[in-house]
A and B are shown apart, each in its own frame.
Chain A
Amino acid sequence: MSEPKVAIQNLYKIFGPKPEKMVEKVQAGMSKADMLDQHGHVLGLNNINMDIAPHEIQVIMGLSGSGKSTLIRHLNRLIEPTVGKVLVDGENVLAMNETTLRNFRRSKASMVFQKFGLLPHRSVADNVAYGLSIQGVEKAESFERAHRWIERVGLAGFEKHFPTQLSGGMQQRVGLARALATDAEILLMDEAFSALDPLIRSDMQDILLGLQDELHKTIIFITHDLDEALRIGDNITILRDGAVIQSGLPQDIVLSPVDDYVADFIKDINKARVLQIGAVMGNSQSVKGPEIERTTVLETALQIVSEASASGAIIVEKGKKVGTASINDMIKAIARTEKKSGTDAPYR
């Protein structure tokens, strides 16, 4: 991996009257539940270490209470850390003085919120231009730039409307346009699509992926929805009780969940849409069938194979054969796996 855009190092956050004193106890291995019981402090983040590559979408997921929203608020320091570092381009955000931090928020990292956070008394155009007006960009120029983004998210013609006159999906487009208008390199998205209904949500995911194809920003995306994580994430990190429990490529997480907690997460997802045919590659000479690129997801591969009425596929990479996969291998990979042991998952 090239130089990370954002590097989080040994980050702890403990909520309570005397957080500094609690850090040692956490480092000695005290659990979140024990800390709350014995000391009345809430363990928010527990020794987070993460490298986020530039120009990628890094998804951070976990159930509510896992610390994901706390974590993303450390990246632009809306929440003060207890200890640790957040390096952006090598500079520690958590050590910045007020002015530097303000400039960092204005120009380097912008944010999209679950509840939109739009200014209700300002029009769509004013909202999108908000970040620019904070920077002190001249009015005419900021409106011109805002207008471009309003068009880009498909809201042309709604410039003069107030946010309350728009539907949830449209409001979040305003939120997205506002974040993009500052031209920040880093986009922080805190459950940005979680409040929207499924159809609108998938629309928004399309818009985001389309924009990312052009813009190549570093996006940190928080979600509790694994389907969403798999759909848009280049990389996924799973949090539980404030600690990272697994981090990796989407398909690695689906193929080898590190524990029951993660396994439970992926139980109900559509694996055919995540797993690439390369993951089930074998080298059987008897398999014949159409040639399929190694990075094709199984959903597409199966369609191609069945249309060709073949028994499998030849897997190719850059035009060269690298292996094969029988139709049976493919189906086995996406079949639902039930846990064999009858015990409940320990995290409950």
Chain B
Amino acid sequence: MSFLTDFPSLSRQELRDLKKGIDASFRDFSRTYGETLESFFDPLLQFLVFFERLLLTTPWPVIIIVISALAWLGSRSWKLSVGAALGFAIIGFFGMWEDTMSTLAIISVATIICIGIGIPLGILMAKSERMQKVITPILDVMQTIPSFVYLIPVVMLLGIGKVPGLIAVCIYAIPPIVRLTNLGIRLVDKDVLEAAEAFGADYKQKLFGVQIPLALPNIFAGVNQTIMMALSMVVIASMIGVQGLGVPVLRAISNQYLALGLMNGLAIVTLAIIFDRISQHYGKRLQRHREGGHHV
């Protein structure tokens, strides 16, 4: 009856060999291709470094003005743009300006990458059932797998630094924009699409003239979620050498500095609130035509 009480598993020796085998082959792989991959990501690193330096060298009043101008452009709300300026001013006043700029740099670059890859991927998924069947489980894995797990191969391949951190952030933050782009396009009113078809619109004209514009509110909800998730990765990314607000938080955890952890944590929250409100307002403005109301 030992069959029922002991789970029929591989022996200790077999398991050890299996793990060793995988580790060894991946190590070989990373030794052979690590450098190539690193040089492949070099332009990304250059851009990230350039952007970070730009944010750090620009005088702080200019940054605050630019941010509150962006807030105004996105939301057309005075409250929000004054609030954004005030938020940044307070962060700076408490000595977190430089870390905040580093975080801002990596979040912005990660968001741009996620948009650049995520939206086309979402469009592809909406176009073909097969793509949807293939990509959906991958997204599920990306969202549920503990981030520490995929940090291991990324660090093995690319070492510690900004680029692996950026990749980790992107893996975590890209699923919502892919999903919501796909969903948004699939939810476009069939009658409108049929009308476009009946007037002889080709694939491109349907995509850019009807599907994407009508899916924009959903796509924007995806961008919003992506930014939020990227921000929530800041602390974990700092474990593999990304500068920014995560570093002091990490230090605070290991040394039990309550105030340090709280202050930097709140700075991350402040960034999140500012970006969330701006992008949500912008998303709402995109659907103005839906509210309509009878002006007649």
List A residues at the B interface (Cβ < 8 Å): 76, 78, 102-107, 110-111, 113, 115-121, 130-131, 133-135, 158, 161-167, 170, 178, 182, 188
List B residues at the A interface (Cβ < 8 Å): 189, 191-192, 194-202, 205, 209-210, 213-214, 289-296
Closest to B295 in A: A165
Select which of B199, B291, B293, B296 is within 8 A of A130 by beta carbon.
Answer: B199
Residue pairs across A and B with Cβ atoms less than 8 A apart, 24 shown, are A78-B198, A102-B200, A103-B200, A104-B200, A106-B199, A106-B200, A110-B198, A110-B199, A111-B195, A111-B198, A113-B191, A113-B198, A117-B195, A118-B195, A120-B289, A121-B289, A134-B200, A134-B201, A158-B296, A165-B295, A170-B296, A178-B199, A182-B199, A188-B198
Contacts of A118 in B (CB 8 A): 192, 195
Min CB distance A280 to B, Å, is: 43
Contacts of A78 in B (CB 8 A): 194, 197-198
**In contact, A165 and B293 (Cβ under 8 angstroms):** yes
Q: A164-B292, A165-B293, A167-B296 are in contact. Are A76 and B198 (CB under 8 A)?
A: yes
Min CB distance B218 to A, Å, is: 13
Give Cα A133 to B210, complex, Å.
Answer: 13
Min CB distance A173 to B, Å, is: 12
Contacts of A119 in B (CB 8 A): 192, 195-196, 209-210
**In contact, A162 and B198 (Cβ under 8 angstroms):** no
Give Cα A178 to B201, complex, Å.
Answer: 14
Q: A78-B194, A165-B292 are in contact. Are A121 and B213 (CB under 8 A)?
A: yes
**In contact, A105 and B191 (Cβ under 8 angstroms):** no
Q: Give chain A's interface secondary structure class.
A: mixed
Contacts of B194 in A (CB 8 A): 78, 113, 117
Give Cα A119 to B289, complex, Å.
Answer: 10
Task: List 5 additional A-B contacts (Cβ < 8 Å) besides A113-B191, A188-B198.
Answer: A105-B199, A121-B289, A134-B200, A167-B294, A178-B199
Min CB distance B16 to A, Å, is: 52
Contacts of A76 in B (CB 8 A): 198
Min CB distance A279 to B, Å, is: 39
Give Cα A117 to B293, complex, Å.
Answer: 18
Contacts of A133 in B (CB 8 A): 209
A102, A110, A117, A178: most-surrounded residue (chain B CB, <10 A): A117
**In contact, A131 and B296 (Cβ under 8 angstroms):** no
Closest to A107 in B: B200
Min CB distance A124 to B, Å, is: 11
Give Cα A151 to B214, complex, Å.
Answer: 28
Min CB distance A56 to B, Å, is: 21
Give Cα A130 to B202, complex, Å.
Answer: 13
Q: A120-B214, A121-B214 are in contact. Are A134 and B294 (CB under 8 A)?
A: no
Contacts of A135 in B (CB 8 A): 200
Contacts of B199 in A (CB 8 A): 105-106, 110-111, 130-131, 134, 178, 182
Contacts of A103 in B (CB 8 A): 200
Give Cα A131 to B197, complex, Å.
Answer: 10
Min CB distance B208 to A, Å, is: 12
Select which of A105, A117, A164 is within 8 A of B290 by beta carbon.
Answer: A164
B191, B192, B197, B199: most-surrounded residue (chain A CB, <10 A): B199
Contacts of A117 in B (CB 8 A): 191-192, 194-195, 198
Contacts of A164 in B (CB 8 A): 289-293
Contacts of B209 in A (CB 8 A): 119, 133
Give Cα A182 to B200, complex, Å.
Answer: 11
Contacts of B191 in A (CB 8 A): 113, 115-117
Contacts of B292 in A (CB 8 A): 162-165
Contacts of A170 in B (CB 8 A): 296
Closest to A101 in B: B200
Contacts of A178 in B (CB 8 A): 199
Give Cα A215 to B292, complex, Å.
Answer: 34
Contacts of B214 in A (CB 8 A): 120-121
**In contact, A134 and B205 (Cβ under 8 angstroms):** yes
Contacts of A163 in B (CB 8 A): 292
**In contact, A165 and B296 (Cβ under 8 angstroms):** yes
